[in-house]
Amino acid sequence: MSESKPGESKSSEGASQRRLLIPSFLTPSGIKGEEKKERRERRLRIRRRSDVDEGKAKIHPEVLKELGIEDEVEIVLVGGGSRERKYVLKVIPSEDVPRNEVWCNEEEMRRLGVADNSIATIRKPLGPKEEKET
């Protein structure tokens, strides 16, 4: 039994030596002390609905809570090439909306060139401080 303890200490010493030999650029970011604030987002289907007011979007309340959205939502649509379109809309929580959909005003979406059933990234918009950092 006393023989296994010295062996264990040797392996633990070896492990610490290996950790010191790994260059800093190869270490995973989880080991480093850096904390990067992660933006939560989901890919949801955009539906055109005539019962939604212009400038507003109806989203299921559970999705809002999951993404940390309170009053505004950023909808990002990716077009062909490097064309990325972003729209910020006011949020209306609604239990009627399925969890995988966002309901927006039909006329507004038509004017913006957003097709019904489009897939878009939904996330909380950046605040003025956060935009300057990125």
Mean pLDDT of 111-118: 90
Mean pLDDT of 75-81: 80
* 84 — pLDDT class (breaks 50, 70, 90): confident
* 83 — pLDDT class (breaks 50, 70, 90): confident
More confident residue, 103 or 84: 103
User: CA 97 to CA 124: how far, in whole Å?
Assistant: 18
End-to-end CA distance of the chain: 57
User: CA 120 to CA 107: how far, in whole Å?
Assistant: 18
pTM: 0.66
* 93 — pLDDT class (breaks 50, 70, 90): very high
More confident residue, 82 or 20: 82
> Which position has the token pair 């019962």?
51
Task: Give the pLDDT of residue 32.
Answer: 52
What tokens does 42 get? 């989901």
Hey, which residues does 122 pair with through a beta bridge? Answer: 42, 75
User: CA 130 to CA 75: how far, in whole Å?
Assistant: 17
In tens, the pLDDT along 2-52 reads 555 554 555 555 555 444 556 666 656 555 555 556 778 899 999 999 999
